[in-house]
Amino acid sequence: MILRPGLKDFQVVGLYVGKVVIGIGLLMTVPLLVSLYFQEWNATIDFAIGISACLLFGYFMEFLCYTRRDLTWTHGMVVAALAGLVAKVFAAIPYHLSGHFPSFLDATFDAISGMTTTGLFVLNDLDHISNALNMWRHLITFAGGQGIIVVALMFMIRGTSGAFKLYVGEAREERLLPNVIQTARAIGFISLTYLVIGTAVLWVLNVREGMSPERGFFHGLWLFMGAWSTAGFAPQSLNLLYYHSLLLELATMVLFIIGSFNFALHYAVWRGDRREIYRNLEIISFSITVAITFTLVVIGLTQLNIYPDAMSLFRKGFYILISGHTGTGNQTIFARQFVNNWGPLAMLGVTMAMAIGGSACSTCGGIKGLRMGILFKSLSYELRRLISPESSVVVQKIHHIRDTILDNRMARAAMFITICFIFINYGLGTIVGVLYGYPLSEALFEAVSAGSTTGLSVGITSSSMPTLLKVVYMFQMWVGRLEFMAVFALFGFVFAAVRGE
C-alpha cells in the first residue's frame, strides 16, 4: 500500500522551497549593484522585479507552510529536486525581462543551464547584453557549482538535523566536517578563496592582453566563475576564441581541472595531505580516461591532418578534450568545426569524455570518475575471485580520502546510476535529436553534453531549435545534476499524493 503524503509533508517541502527561493532573491542583489555601478537602469528594474518576486514568493511560502517538523530522507530528496526547479524559474525572470529571449521557456533554459553548470545557452546577442545580466549569468553558475542547497545551508538554513538530508538530496554525500552546515561553509570558503586568487590571475592576464583594468577585472571574474564551476560560460559569444591568448587558455584549463576535483580532496590537500592527489581513486580514474579519450582524439585529428603542429593540437584538441571531460564546455573552436573538421573518431573521444565527467561532490556532472573507478575495481575483484582457490578470501580495497573495502552495495549503486545516465539521460536526448532529423553523431554529442552538464555544442542548441528538444535538454540537465535519486523521490512523492491511500 502506498501512503499518501499528509498536510505536514507538503508544509515541510513548501517551507524549504521558500527558503531556497529567498536565497535566489538575495543573490540577485549582486547584479543589481552591478547595474547601478554601470548605470544600466533597465537592468536595475529587471533585477528589482526579480528580487521582489523571489522575496514575495519565498516569505509567502514560509508563512503558509510554517512548521516545526523536521525533514525526513524523502523530504530532503523532494526539496532538493523541487527547490532546484522552482529556483531556476525565478532565476529566469531577469533573463526574460532583458529582452534577449524570445520566450520565457528560452529564459528558463538558460537559467537551468547556468544553475546546473551546463553552459549551453539560447540567449540572443550575447555580445551586447548588459554587464548586470552577464554578472547574473556567471553568478548562478558559481552558486550552482557549489550547489543551490549548499548555498542555502550556508546562509538560510541553520541548526536543523534535517540539513544532511538536503545535502544528500543534491547528489552530495561526503562530509568535510562532522557538521553538515560547517561542511557547506567549508565548501563556500574553498570556492571563495579560489575566486579571489583565480580572478586576480585572470585580471592580470586580461590587462596584459590589452583590456582596461575595469573591463579586465569583470572578464577575469566571469571567466573564473565559468571555469571553476565547470559551466563554460564566457562573457563573449566566441567563448575563449575571443581572447586569442595561450596564457588565458592555460589559466582557465588549470581552473576547470581543479574545479572538477572533489571538494573532499581539496579539503584533504588544504589540511596538508598532499599524497591524496596521487592515491585517490578519482584522480587515477580521471588520468586513465583522459589518456584513453585523448588518444582517440589525437588519432582522429591526425588521420585528417587537421592540426599539423603540436601547439595547435594542444590548444584545440587537448583543451577541448579536458574541457569536455571536466564538464566545463569552454571552447577554442567554432561549434560546427566538430562536424566539419574533427570527424567521427575525434568527436567520439570527446563524447566519451563528457559522458564520464569529473569527480563526485564537485562542480561538474557526468557519470563521475569515482563510479568508473568502482566499476573497474569491481571487475578486477570478480576476475580475481574467479581465479582464486575456493577457500581463499578475496578483498578489494579502494582509496578515496580513506581506505574502504569495496562491497556489493557500492558496486550496485555505481552500476545503477551509470545505467540511468546512459539509457535514461543520454539515450533520451539522443533519440529525440535523431527523431528531429539530426545525424546520430551530432544528436549523441549534444545529448551527452546536456545530460553530463558539460555545454560543448556542435551547433544544435539555439533559440530556433525545436521546443520539445529544448524541454528534453532541460530535463537532462536537471536530472544529470541531481543524479536521479532526488528526481525519482519527487516523482514518487507526486505519485503517492495522487494515488496513495
User: What's the pLDDT tens digit per position in 32-41?
Assistant: 999 999 999 9
- As a whole number of angstroms, the distance between CA 48 and CA 174 comes to 37
Low-confidence ranges of the chain (pLDDT < 50): none
- Given a contact cutoff of 8 angstroms between Cβ atoms, the answer to whether 334 and 241 are in contact is yes
Output the nine-digit C-alpha cell for 188.
563556500
Alpha helices by DSSP H, listed for 388-426, are: 408-419
Query: Is the pTM here over 0.85, yes or no?
Result: yes
What pLDDT score was predicted for residue 340? 93
Output the nine-digit C-alpha cell for 125.
546577442
What pLDDT score was predicted for residue 407? 83
> CA torsion, points 155, 172, 228, 269, in degrees to nearest 10?
100
Burial 139-176 (b: 16+ CB within 10 A, else e): bbbbbbbbbbbbbbbbebbeeeebbbbbbbbbbbebbb
Alpha helices by DSSP H, listed for 305-402, are: 310-312, 319-325, 337, 343-356, 369-387
- Given a contact cutoff of 8 angstroms between Cβ atoms, the answer to whether 381 and 406 are in contact is yes
Residue 195 sits at φ, ψ, to 5 deg, of -60, -45
Please state, as a whole number, how many other Cβ atoms lie within 10 Å of the Cβ of residue 379: 11
What pLDDT score was predicted for residue 174? 65
Output the nine-digit C-alpha cell for 95.
533573463
pLDDT digits (tens, 9 = 90+) for 292-346: 999 999 999 999 999 989 999 999 999 999 999 999 999 999 999 999 999 999 9
